[in-house]
Amino acid sequence: MVLIKYGDDQGLGQEVRAYERLRHFQSSNIPQVFVCEISSSGNTFLALEWIDGRHPDFTSERDIHSTYSVLGKWTAEWSDRVGGHDQLSQDTLDRFFAFNDMLVKHQELILTTIGVRLYNQLQFITANQDFILHTMKRMPNTFDPGDISLHNTIIDHHGNVIFIDFEYASVRPMIMLFEHYGEGYESIPSTPERIELAMQAFLKTWNANASQPLTWEQFQCGQVCARCCYKMGKYNYWIKRMADERHREETLEWIKQDLAPLEELVRQLEQLVVNDATS
């Protein structure tokens, strides 16, 4: 059977370009590519092998271990192909500028609707942006599939792990694969224990296959900084949404639910900054 995708949307075009790159390297962890092209008019056509199987269960230790062990090996091999460091996208860098502007422009809104405690935590992140950026830029690059979740991963009948969605694929620091782990999303390992299991399984096979291995401490430090970057994007969106008077009560409820996770993340960042200053 064959899976066919066609159309003229930007996301599909990005996926076609990703498969064009991937198809030159044999891998059992992506579908076989039969046709992959973009016409002169901008229409895209993609014909892929149909994969029979199931999505992983990220409440299962076995599925977490198998999925992230494969992901670690796959991204390590791609890291050696793309090489280098310091390849943060303009979109990622723009989060920092927008975050700084947002805190200045909407200071009164944040203080009056959410409070000084949240504002101080956001200020602590922006005050340590140099540390966050420096840490992320030291991470080796890889070809990031863009959205590793249970919906975009299949375990076939032979137990092989297949990654199937490359709409948001890009070359960037490998730690960015874990930028949203800890945000409570149910489509990925979401509890602290499952996140740690996923990260340990990933790092073990990464270190066994990459030319630049990382210690567990380096990996954890990078993930905290990647999460801070992700938080900037979330709060840029949330505060702007409130300032525009769009669904203010709903947005405020989202922010309130995030207060404890944000506080814990800032505590971890603070400890890393202290350790770096005293090392």
| Per-residue pLDDT, 87 | 62
| Per-residue pLDDT, 86 | 58
| Per-residue pLDDT, 108 | 94
| Per-residue pLDDT, 2 | 86
Sign of the Cα pseudo-torsion (214, 216, 217, 221, in order)? positive
| Per-residue pLDDT, 40 | 79
| Per-residue pLDDT, 211 | 93
Give me the architecture of the 53-278 domain, per CATH.
Alpha-Beta Complex (3.90)
**Predicted model pTM:** 0.91
pLDDT along the chain (279 residues), means of 10: 85 86 81 86 88 95 97 93 70 84 93 94 95 93 88 93 90 94 94 97 97 96 96 93 88 94 96 91
